[in-house]
Amino acid sequence: MRLLLDFFPILLFFIAYKWQGIYVGTAVLMGATVVQMAIVWRLDRKLSTMHKATLVLILLFGALTLALQDERFIKWKPTVLYAAMALALAVALWAYHKNFLKIMLGGQIALPEPVWQRLTLAWVGYCLFMAALNGYVAAYFSTDAWMDFKLWGYVFPVVFIIGQGLYIARHLSEAPQGASSGTSGAPE
């Protein structure tokens, strides 16, 4: 159910784009994301920082796309989101010595500290890769090609998450008993 919930706005965006074009697709994406976040709120009684950032960026870039009738805004939204995620993770880790991944997931998974560090670095690299890849496709390819990339480009996060899961699984037994979750009341 959660997987379907995560993908339904992009699927509706793709269908609306194929049916009526980028501007109708953008409006559908905006509406579907609001509905998605309402469902997440109803299920969890909260929105994660990632949910909030995604919602704000989709509504902001979508509104700019529709108001200015310029598809470049919606096409560049993923680049901005991925770059912001990479920057937030990197600054938190290196400047503030906080590991956001551990803060967000440490209550669910106990891992040794070096593994949390490597996971964060992997996420920074992945986000930078995805930001650059989306930026390249948005800048140098047609909107049709970008839409195909948006749909079929989901192979990248799937492969990354599977690889991350395999990496984490190797280290679960190494985690010390009663390991600190790293959540200590810190905000998401």
* Distance (Å, whole) CA 24 – CA 17: 7
Distances (CA, A) of 145 to 76, 137, 150: 14, 8, 9
What is the 3-state secondary structure of 32-54? Answer: HHHHHHHHHHHHHCCCCHHHHHH
- Containing 90, the helix (H) or strand (E) segment is helix 72-94
pLDDT at residue 152 in the model: 86
Beta-carbon count within 10 A of 116 CB: 21
With a cut of 70, list the residues of the chain below it in pLDDT.
1, 173-188
Q: Which tokens sit at 177?
A: 């008993």
pLDDT at residue 44 in the model: 92
* Distance (Å, whole) CA 25 – CA 32: 10
Which residue type, as a one-letter code, is found at position 18?
A: K
**Residues whose CB falls within 8 Å of the CB of residue 126, separated by 6 or more in sequence, listed in order:** 160
How far apart are the two ends of the chain, measured CA to CA in Å?
23
One DSSP character per residue, 131-163 reads: HHHHHHHHHHS-HHHHHHHHHHTTHHHHHHHHH
